[in-house]
């Protein structure tokens, strides 16, 4: 989303005529937020942002470094990811992992404490420096394309909530091919455009994060992409202990506040990169929230957390979860 610092900036947009996945041009509009339009390809089904910010202005819509929530808050997610990775570790095999676009570095730091050999990359120099200062981890600066040909192929590589941000989809995946050994594994998470959240919350779900999310995958379109680049899915789920309840919870909050305070689309675009609604409420909204007796507010908050977690689990059970979490193996041929 556009940050409060950049909401007045005249962002330059470029039209994306061809589908990033299949190059098809026939598409239908499925969502519009202010001037930003998402279209679904009628050939392959990929949803793309049809008018995206030009690459030269990407620094205006991304912060210099990532926020740093406490690792303890995300332990369930980290434990879940580690458990998935460990299913594919053979007896006696070294636990080694590389993360593309490692964000604030917390997952790598967590794995390192668990005895893993870790390495990773981030695009901005400020993020690399922040990770080094916070965790003592020396990671690489650059994109997947920059690393391909420089870095030895990996047996296990992950990228979490990265693909939906990538401007050159096939260039990125071609680089991933180079970065993974034959028979090696990749672990991916992306938002699921086929989630029940789309029907429940409409434009208020965080799945529509504009202008950062330039394409949105369903299980089918993600499988298409992986097959094009010699990867076969070996495990797939639709739940993440951190993201899934959080996306549902944010949908409830946004939809409720939008109805109560008569939000327009521009309000949704100015929530800040973190996307945490509670941090970007207006003075009137803050006054309304604080007017509740504290015990009632705490009870409502607890109910929201519990119901969001329950709904996220239910969505995943019926293959309509809001996060696609999969492991794919690179062909040995």
Strand partners, 160: 189
Q: Encode pLDDT of 187-234 as tens digits.
A: 999 999 999 999 999 999 999 999 999 999 999 999 999 999 999 999
pTM above 0.85, yes or no: yes
What pLDDT, on a 0 to 100 scale, did the predictor assign at position 263?
66
Q: 9 falls in which pLDDT band (50, 70, 90)?
A: low
Spatial strand order of the sheet with 27-33 comes to 27-33, 36-41, 47-49, 215-216
Q: 284 falls in which pLDDT band (50, 70, 90)?
A: very low
What would the DSSP string read from start to end of 170-182?
Answer: HHHHHHHHHHEEE
Which residues fall within 8 angstroms of residue 90, CB to CB, at 6 or more apart? Answer: none
Cα angle, residue 146 at apex, residues 145 and 151 outer, rounded to 5°? 100
What pLDDT, on a 0 to 100 scale, did the predictor assign at position 218?
98
Question: Rounded to an integer, what distance in angstroms lies between the CA atom of residue 96 and that of residue 117?
Answer: 5
Token couple for 7: 């909401």
- Looking at per-residue pLDDT, the higher value among 71 and 216 belongs to 216
Contact between 315 and 197 under an 8 Å Cβ cutoff? The reply is yes
Which residues fall within 8 angstroms of residue 32, CB to CB, at 6 or more apart? Answer: 38, 265
Question: Rounded to an integer, what distance in angstroms lies between the CA atom of residue 318 and that of residue 104?
Answer: 32
Residues in the chain: 333
- For 173, other C-beta atoms within 10 Å of its C-beta total 20
What pLDDT, on a 0 to 100 scale, did the predictor assign at position 58?
84
Q: 298 falls in which pLDDT band (50, 70, 90)?
A: confident
Which residues fall within 8 angstroms of residue 114, CB to CB, at 6 or more apart? Answer: 82
3-state secondary structure of 162: coil
Contact between 11 and 53 under an 8 Å Cβ cutoff? The reply is yes
3-state secondary structure of 49: strand
Is 287 a residue whose pLDDT tops 60? no
- Cα 169 to chain centroid, rounded: 15
3-state secondary structure of 241: coil
**Domains of the chain: residue spans and CATH:** 13-61 (no CATH), 71-245+313-330 (3.40.50.150)
What pLDDT, on a 0 to 100 scale, did the predictor assign at position 17?
97
- Looking at per-residue pLDDT, the higher value among 261 and 125 belongs to 125
Average pLDDT over residues 20-35: 96
Question: Rounded to an integer, what distance in angstroms lies between the CA atom of residue 245 and that of residue 307?
Answer: 9
Cα-atom radius of gyration of the chain, to the nearest Å?
Answer: 20
Is 282 a residue whose pLDDT tops 60? no
Q: What percent of the chain has pLDDT over 90?
A: 73
38: left (phi over 0), alpha (psi -120 to 50) or beta: beta
Strand partners, 33: 36
Torsion of CA 179, 183, 189, 191, to 10 degrees: 100
* Number of helical H runs and strand E runs in the chain: 12, 13
Is 296 a residue whose pLDDT tops 80? no
Average pLDDT over residues 54-78: 76
Question: Rounded to an integer, what distance in angstroms lies between the CA atom of residue 52 and that of residue 209?
Answer: 12
Q: Encode pLDDT of 124-136 as tens digits.
A: 888 899 999 999 9
What pLDDT, on a 0 to 100 scale, did the predictor assign at position 223?
98
Q: 281 falls in which pLDDT band (50, 70, 90)?
A: very low
Is 285 a residue whose pLDDT tops 50? no
Token couple for 226: 């992986």
Give first-to-last CA distance, the chain, whole Å.
41
3-state secondary structure of 196: helix
Average pLDDT over residues 60-65: 69
């Amino acid at each position: 989303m556009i940050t409060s610092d950049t909401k007045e900036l005249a962002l330059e947009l470029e039209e994306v005529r061809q589908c990033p996945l299949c190059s098809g041009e026939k598409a239908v509009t499925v969502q519009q937020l202010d001037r930003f339009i998402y279209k679904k390809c009628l050939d392959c089904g990929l949803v793309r942002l049809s008018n995206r910010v030009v690459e030269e202005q990407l620094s205006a819509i991304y912060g210099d470094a990532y926020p740093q929530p406490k690792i303890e808050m995300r332990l369930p997610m980290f434990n879940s990811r580690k458990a998935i990775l460990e299913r594919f570790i053979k007896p006696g095999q070294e636990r080694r992992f590389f993360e593309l676009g490692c964000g604030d570095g917390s997952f790598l730091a967590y794995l390192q404490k668990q005895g893993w050999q870790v390495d990773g990359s981030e695009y901005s120099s400020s993020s690399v420096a922040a990770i080094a200062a916070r965790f003592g981890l020396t990671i690489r600066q650059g994109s997947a394309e920059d690393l391909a040909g420089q870095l030895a192929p990996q047996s296990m590589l992950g990228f979490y909530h990265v693909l939906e941000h990538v401007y050159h989809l096939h260039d990125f995946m071609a680089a991933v091919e180079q970065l993974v050994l034959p028979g090696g594994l990749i672990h991916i998470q992306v938002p699921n455009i086929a989630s029940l959240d789309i029907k429940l919350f409409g434009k208020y779900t965080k799945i529509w994060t504009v202008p950062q999310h330039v394409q949105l995958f369903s299980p089918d379109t993600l499988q298409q992409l992986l097959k094009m680049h010699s990867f076969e899915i070996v495990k797939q789920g639709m739940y993440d202990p951190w993201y899934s309840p959080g996306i549902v919870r944010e949908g409830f909050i946004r939809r409720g506040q939008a109805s109560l305070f008569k939000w327009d689309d521009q309000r949704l675009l100015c929530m800040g990169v973190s996307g945490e609604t509670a941090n970007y409420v207006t003075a009137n909204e803050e006054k309304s929230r604080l007017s509740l007796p504290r015990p009632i507010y705490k009870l409502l908050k607890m109910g929201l957390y519990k119901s969001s977690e329950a709904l996220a689990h239910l969505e995943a059970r019926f293959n309509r979860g809001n996060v696609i979490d999969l492991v794919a193996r690179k062909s040995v041929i």
